Amino acid sequence: MGRNKFEKQLKEQLQGREIKPSEGAWERISQQLEESKTPKAKNFKWYGIAAGFIGLIFISGLYLTTRGLSTDNDTQITNVKKDSILSNTTPEIIYEPKIGEERVIVDSKVQEEESIQSRNNQNMDSAKMDGLASSKEEIRKVEKTSVQWNTSEELIDTKIAEVVAQVALLEHENSTVTDAEIDSLLRGAQRQLLEDKIFRNDRSVDAMALLADVEHELDTSFRDQIFDALKDGFLKVRTAVADRNK
Amino acid sequence: MKIIPFYKSEKQLIKKSASGNRDAQRCLYEKYAPKMLGVCRRYIKDLQFAEDVMVSGFVKVFKHLETFRHEGSFEGWIRQIMVRESISYLRKNQFVVYDETVMEKIRPQTTINSFDWDTEHIQSLIDSLPDGYRAVFVLYAIEGYKHQEIGEILDITESTSKSQLFKARRILQEQLKQQNSIGYGTE
C-alpha cells in the first residue's frame, strides 16, 4: 500500500501550509517559560556546594584535632636488646613528641626475638645470657626488673641518704629515735620513689612503670599457690562428702 | 513587532535560546511558529486548540533545547515534538484508535491523478475523517512515518495502523467521488 499520486499532492500542499498564530501566543509561551524557570534547582545546587564546603572544613578540622592530640602522645618505645641487658643498663623508654608523625610502638616481643637472635650470634656473651635467661619469659622478667629497679638506683641512693640525714637530725634533736619513726621515714621515701618512677616530669603517667609495679604485686609466691591449691581441694572434698551424706 | 536578526547562524541562535535568552527564543519562535501551527492543525480540527498545542510544544522545545545535538535538522526536531504533542492532546480528549487487525477486503480504488483544490479544501477533507483515521492518515501520507513508527507513536499494532489507513483512504475516495459528481455532474 504505497503512497499514490493523490497523497503525494496532498503532502506537498499541506506541508507548505503555514498558519499565523495569534498575537498572544508568544506571550503565553514566554509566561510559561518564566513560570517553569524554577530557582529551586539553582538554590539546591548552591546549597549542595555550601554543604560540601562545610563538610570539608568539618572533616579537616576533626582530622587536624585528632592529629594534634595524637602528636601530644606520640610515643616511641624501644626495648633494650640483650647487649644492653648484659651491660646492666636499663631499657630505653624514649618519648619523642614529633608533629606529623604517628605513634610508633615497637613491639617488645619482636625486639625480644631480635635480641635472642643477636644473642645467638655472639659467642662469648651468649653463655652468660643463657645462664641468666633461657626463655623469652625470663628475658622479660629481667627487663621488667631492670625497668622497675635499675633505672632508679641513683634515686634510691639519694633517698637513703636523705633518710639517714633525717634520722641523724632527729637523733640530734631528740637524742632517741624510735623504730616507728624510722619506719615512717622509710615508707615516705619508698612512696616518693614510686611516684617518681610512675609519674613523669609533666605529671603524666608512665604506663610501663605502672604496669611493672602492678605485675610485681600480682606475682604470687610458690607457697601461696600451694596453699590456694590445697584450699580448693579441701573445699571440693568437703562438698563431695556433704553431698554423699545427704 | 519585528525582531532584528542579529544572530548570524541558526546554531548560534539555538545556543542562545538554550541559555535562556528570550530574544533568541522569540527569533526561533517567529521563524517556525506558522509552520508548526500548520502541523498541529492537521491533527486537531479546532484552530484554537491547535494553537494551544503549539504553545505547549514550543515551551517543551525551549525547555529541552540543550538536548538538541545539531545532528539532524532543527525543523525536523521541532516538528517531531509538535506531532507528539498533538497526539498527546488527542489522547487526552478520548481519541480512540480501534485495534482492528482484520483488514477489509480491498476494493478497487478510484485513482485520482490530480486535483485543483486549495489547501483549505484539502484540510476540510482531512478534518472530515474520524480522529483515529485522521491521525494515521496524516502521520503516514503527510508526515511520512512508517507503519511501525505510527504503531509506536499511537501505541497500536502495525496491522491496525495499516487497517486505519485503508479505511481513511476509502472515506476520502467516497468524498472525492461525491464532490466530483457534484462539481462535474458526472456519475
Taking the C-alpha atoms of A78, A83, A88 and A93 in order, what is their torsion angle to the nearest 10 degrees?
A: -10
On whether any CB of chain B is under 8 Å from the CB of A4, the answer is yes
Q: Give a yes or no: residue B17 inside a domain.
A: yes
Looking at the fold, whether B73 and B21 belong to one and the same domain comes out as yes
- Nine-digit cell string for A227: 596453699
Looking at the fold, whether B19 and B79 belong to one and the same domain comes out as yes
How far off is chain A from B71, nearest CA to CA, in Å? 22
Contacting residues of A for B174, CB less than 8 Å apart: none
Q: How confident is the model at residue B107 (pLDDT cuts 50, 70, 90)?
A: very low
Name the more confident of B182 and B134.
B134
Rg (CA), chain B: 19
Contacting residues of A for B177, CB less than 8 Å apart: none
Looking at the fold, whether B19 and B66 belong to one and the same domain comes out as yes
Residue A54 in this model has a pLDDT that exceeds 90: yes
Overall domain count for chain B: 2
Looking at the fold, whether B21 and B83 belong to one and the same domain comes out as yes
Residue A85 in this model has a pLDDT that exceeds 50: no
Q: Highest-confidence range of A29-43, B19-33, B91-105, by mean pLDDT? A: B19-33
Residues sharing a CB contact under 8 Å with residue B91, sequence separation 6 or more, in sequence order: none
| Nearest neighbour of A14 by CB, restricted to B29, B33, B119 | B119
On whether any CB of chain A is under 8 Å from the CB of B154, the answer is no
Looking at the fold, whether B46 and B84 belong to one and the same domain comes out as yes
- A15 contacts B51? CB cut-off 8 A: no
> Are B74 and A55 within 8 A, CB to CB?
no
**A-chain residue closest to B23, CA distance:** A30
Looking at the fold, whether B87 and B124 belong to one and the same domain comes out as no
Q: Give a yes or no: residue B44 inside a domain.
A: yes
As a whole number of Å, the end-to-end CA separation of chain B is 53
| Nearest neighbour of B142 by CB, restricted to A4, A14, A33 | A14
What average pLDDT is seen over chain A?
70
Instruction: Look at residues B73, B92, B111 and tell me which one is the last residue of a structural domain.
Output: B92
Whole-number Å distance between alpha carbons of B30 and B15: 16
Q: Domain span at residue B54?
A: 10-92
Q: Give a yes or no: residue B23 inside a domain.
A: yes
Q: What mean pLDDT comes out for the span B8-13? A: 80
Contacting residues of A for B58, CB less than 8 Å apart: 29
**SS3 of chain A:** CCCCHHHHHHHHHHHCCCCCCCCHHHHHHHHHHHHHCCHHHHHHHHHHHHHHHHHHHHHHHHHHHHHHHHHHCCCEECCCCHHHHHCCCCCCEECCCCCCCCCEECCHHHHHHHHHHHHHHCHHHHHHHHHHCCCHHHHHHHHHHHHHCHHHHHHHHHHHHHHHHHHHHHHHHHCCCCHHHHHHHHHHHHHHHHHHHHECCCCCECHHHHHHHHHHHHCCCHHHHHHHHHHHHHHHHHHHHHHHHC
What average pLDDT is seen over chain B?
81
Q: Where are the domains of chain A?
A: 51-148, 150-198, 206-246
Q: Give a yes or no: residue B114 inside a domain.
A: no
Instruction: Look at residues B57, B73, B92 and tell me which one is the last residue of a structural domain.
Output: B92
Q: Give a yes or no: residue B101 inside a domain.
A: no
On whether any CB of chain B is under 8 Å from the CB of A13, the answer is yes
Residue B71 in this model has a pLDDT that exceeds 80: yes
| Nearest neighbour of B142 by CB, restricted to A10, A19, A28 | A10
Q: How confident is the model at residue A149 (pLDDT cuts 50, 70, 90)?
A: low
* Portion of chain A with pLDDT greater than 70, in percent: 56
Residue A74 in this model has a pLDDT that exceeds 90: no
Looking at the fold, whether B133 and B87 belong to one and the same domain comes out as no
Which CATH number is B60's domain given?
1.10.1740.10
Q: How many angstroms separate the most distant Cα atoms in chain A? A: 145
B109-140, pLDDT tens digit by residue? 444 445 566 778 888 888 888 888 889 999 99
- B29 contacts A26? CB cut-off 8 A: yes
Which CATH number is B134's domain given?
1.10.10.10
Residue A104 in this model has a pLDDT that exceeds 80: no
Confidence (pLDDT) at A57: 92
Backbone angle region of A212, left / alpha / beta, with phi > 0 → left and psi within -120 to 50 → alpha: alpha
Q: How confident is the model at residue B59 (pLDDT cuts 50, 70, 90)?
A: very high
Q: Give a yes or no: residue B166 inside a domain.
A: yes
Look at the block and give the residue holding cell 504553545.
Answer: B55
Least confident of A23-37, A73-87, A152-166: A73-87
Q: How confident is the model at residue A243 (pLDDT cuts 50, 70, 90)?
A: confident
Name the more confident of A106 and A174.
A174
Q: How far is CA A141 from CA A185, A197, A215, in A?
A: 30, 18, 10
Q: Which helix (H) or strand (E) holds B178?
A: helix B158-184
